[in-house]
Amino acid sequence: MQPGTGDVKINGRDFKNYFPTEVLQIILNQPFNLLESDSKFDVKVNVRGGGIAGQAEAIRMAIARALVEADGENRPALKKEGFLTRDSRMVERKKYGRAKARKKFQFSKR
């Protein structure tokens, strides 16, 4: 992230092409809208893995962290909205004696 005109590139593509739905575009711009700094920074991001919604939320957190690094006074507002908190949910591991993490094998009475 660097001072600029508000240009956001994700994997070399414009964010409106990368995230076709308006909801994902709104998620991406939430930190800028909160701080009213829409056209003050250019953002260049590389993402991979996860789903498209997870990528949008990860980019939102990265932008929020970069805004805090740019100006420490932004931290309370971004923290209050939860933009600095990582989603810690992960896939549960498969257990032995089971088909998947929680699914049991089919029970047959006879």
- What pTM value is reported for the model? 0.81
Q: Judge whether 29 lies within some domain.
A: yes
Q: Give φ, ψ of 50 to 5 degrees.
A: 70, -170
Bridge partners for 41 per DSSP: 3
For residue 72, give the CATH number of its domain.
3.30.230.10
Q: What is the pLDDT along the chain (110 residues), one digit of tens a residue?
A: 888 888 899 999 999 999 989 999 999 999 998 988 877 889 999 999 889 999 999 999 999 999 999 888 989 999 999 999 998 888 999 999 999 999 999 989 98
> What does the DSSP assignment read for 30-95?
HHHHHHT-TTSEEEEE---SS-HHHHHHHHHHHHHHHHHHH-GGGHHHHHHHTTT------PPPPP
Nearest in space to 51 (alpha carbons), one of 84, 93, 21: 21
For residue 61, give its domain range: 2-81
H or E stretch covering 8: strand 8-10
Q: Is residue 98 domain-resident?
A: no
